[in-house]
Amino acid sequence: MRDTLVGRNGALGVYLAADETPDVLAPDLSRLALICLEFPKFTDGRAYSHARKLRERHGFTGELRATGNVLRDQFQFMHRCGFDAYDVDASSDPSAWLRAVAEISVAYQAAGDRRATIQDQRSV
């Protein structure tokens, strides 16, 4: 399968199940335009770790899409981990999702979105 994809000339996207490690993609990240990470259920947060690893350790700059059980109340956390696209129910209200990013205004620890933490703000 990898040989087929590597031989292709054009933008590529891959789907990574929650139980698959993103490290297997590292040699080919420069060829990938999209990585879709699965949230199979509410209590499975492995895709958060996968997203941070792809962004921070491997330097992936393409589209990182959350799919599966993508919930509005977790939207901000997904965004902070590096997701920039979301596969949500078509009947969802887009303005509610946008409000979800602003619901929590203070970050206590650094994340993939590079937002200033409360400690950074106190140092100013």
Q: What is the pLDDT of residue 77?
A: 86
pLDDT at 60 over 80: yes
Q: How far is CA 124 from CA 102, 112, 115, 118, in A?
A: 22, 21, 14, 10
pLDDT tens digit string along 4-59?
766 777 789 999 999 999 999 999 999 999 999 999 998 999 999 999 999 999 99
Closest CA to 34 of 84, 88, 89: 84
Angle at 12 between CA 11 and CA 17, to 5 degrees: 155
Among the residues of 1-124, which ranges form H helices? 2-6, 46-52, 75-81, 94-102, 118-123
What residue ranges define each of the domains in the chain, with the CATH number in brackets? 2-123 (3.20.20.70)
CA 78 from centroid of its chain's CA atoms = 6
* Residue type present at position 38: E
Six token digits for residue 107: 């970050």
Q: What is the pTM of this model?
A: 0.78
Question: d(Cα 60, Cα 54) in Å, to the nearest integer?
Answer: 5
pLDDT class for 107, splitting at 50, 70, 90? low
- The neighbour count for residue 2, using CB atoms within 10 Å, is 10
